[in-house]
Amino acid sequence: MTTGEDVPPERRGPLTGPLTGLLVADFSRVVAGPFATMLLGDFGAEVVKVERPDGGDDSRAYGPPFADGISSYFRSVNRNKRSVTWDLATPRGRALALELARRADVVVENFRPGTAERLGIGYEQVAQANERVVYCSVSGFGARGPGANLAGYDFLAQGVGGLMSVTGDAEGGPLKVGVAVVDVLTAQFALAGILAALHERERSGKGQKIEVNLLSCLLSALANQASTYVTTGRVPNRMGNRHPSIAPYETLRAKDRPFVVAAANDRQFGALCRVVDAGWMANDVRFASNAARVVNRVELVEALETALSARPADEWIEALRAVGIPCGQVNDIGEAFAFAEELGLAPVVRIEDAAARPVPPYEASASNQVRNPILFSRTPVSYRSGPPHLGEHATAVEAELES
């Protein structure tokens, strides 16, 4: 097991990241915890993923689709990790887990509250042997109180946390977001807490425990919608693609299809009106200010779509972008990757032989990974290895721990 300057070149990748030298013990599964630990791995940390011998991380079975025997779901949040399979119900498994945690800079777990303590790897037990450990616990609804007994899944959190109530058409029923967005948000909050604790450790020399839960992270991420409720008492409703406080900030129908228009201030709205040959709208008292446009949204959209019906969406997008109006087509995921490629963002990397290279997104491969979106000027993100097969590194890691 390596720490500090001791990282072998073959696991550093061609470039080292800002967290090179840190060891992460990953006892988490599914999305929120694994996404956070993958990001730590992207930044250079060595991540050891501890899985059950009987199938491993639940998300390994979340498919189809599968690629090279590994589900796309698992692949999305588990690169740059080494996998070990330990039965934590056995004395040897618990001993190995505690030894890993004892050596780790960061421990991440999302067991049911109380389980880590029963297994001998709770925060107090680990900190007794490793006072510098930064220990992050991820739960669904909090580690104490009634929420501790509730299973934490993204879909459930979207429902009980209010997100589904503001997602979907006003005339339709509540809808979940098309990705496990609460898990992803929780991973980001966990990462922020871990990095803050690591920074504080540089001053104090001591680690600490961090707790995050899906529900609290979602309520925080509801941002303006949550603020509307806590400051005014008004409960937001579903509005489809419309924005509750900005107009026009939605999809508008052109001659052939809808496209996205995000005219977020009066200057942009005035330019929009001139381009669509409806300059009168910018001076109409119903539309002259954003607040007025929000109140008179039905009339606003009707007038704009009448003007937009004269030309296809692609022509309007070109004309509106030329004067600085944020707008674009509604892409599917393939088109979104192609658009990012056109912009030179290189959204896909291919991990082969401990190296990574950019590839066009349409060249499907089991070696493809979505690029980490963060760019460092001196210590770049690295892509050292693809998602591991179950227990792939058990022998090597156990030998390191027992040496």
Give tens-digit pLDDT for 219-232.
Answer: 999 999 999 999 99
Indicate whether 129 pLDDT > 80: yes
Beta strand 81-85 with 368-370 is unpaired
Report yes or no on 120 lying in a domain: yes
Q: How many Å separate Cα 325 from the centre of its chain? A: 28
Domain check: are 163 and 255 in the same one? no
Domain check: are 51 and 196 in the same one? yes
Is-contact 38 77, C-beta < 8 A? yes
> Does residue 26 have an active-site annotation?
no
Domain check: are 205 and 254 in the same one? no
What's the confidence (pLDDT) of residue 1? 57
Beta strand 134-139 with 70-71 is unpaired
Dihedral angle computed from the Cα positions of residues 307, 311, 314 and 320, in that order, rounded to the nearest 10 degrees: -40
| Closest listed residue to residue 94, CA positions, set 117, 123, 127 | 117
Q: Quickly state the pLDDT bin for 97 (edges 50, 70, 90).
A: very high
Structural domain boundaries, residue 337: 333-370
What's the confidence (pLDDT) of residue 361? 66
Within 13 Å and on the Cβ side, how many CA atoms surround 19? 26
Is-contact 162 190, C-beta < 8 A? no
What span, in angstroms and rounded, lies between the C-alpha atoms of 385 and 36? 16
Domain check: are 56 and 74 in the same one? yes
What span, in angstroms and rounded, lies between the C-alpha atoms of 306 and 312? 13
Domain check: are 58 and 172 in the same one? yes
| Closest listed residue to residue 39, CA positions, set 27, 57, 26 | 26
Domain check: are 204 and 307 in the same one? no
Q: Give mean pLDDT, residues 43-70.
A: 95
Domain check: are 60 and 121 in the same one? yes
Domain check: are 69 and 43 in the same one? yes
Q: Where residue 201 sits, what CATH number does that domain have?
A: 3.40.50.10540
Indicate whether 5 pLDDT > 70: no
Report yes or no on 208 lying in a domain: yes
**Domains of the chain: total:** 3
Domain check: are 18 and 109 in the same one? yes
What's the confidence (pLDDT) of residue 6? 43
Report yes or no on 230 lying in a domain: no
Active-site pick, 183, 256, 284, 353 = 183
Residues 6+ apart with CB under 8 A from 272: 248, 261, 263, 304, 320, 325
Domain check: are 145 and 19 in the same one? yes
Q: What is the pTM of this model?
A: 0.92
Q: Give mean pLDDT, residues 83-112.
A: 97
Convert the pLDDT of each residue in 247-296 to its tens digit: 999 999 999 999 999 999 999 999 999 999 999 999 999 999 999 999 99
Domain check: are 150 and 124 in the same one? yes
What's the confidence (pLDDT) of residue 357? 73
Domain check: are 351 and 292 in the same one? no
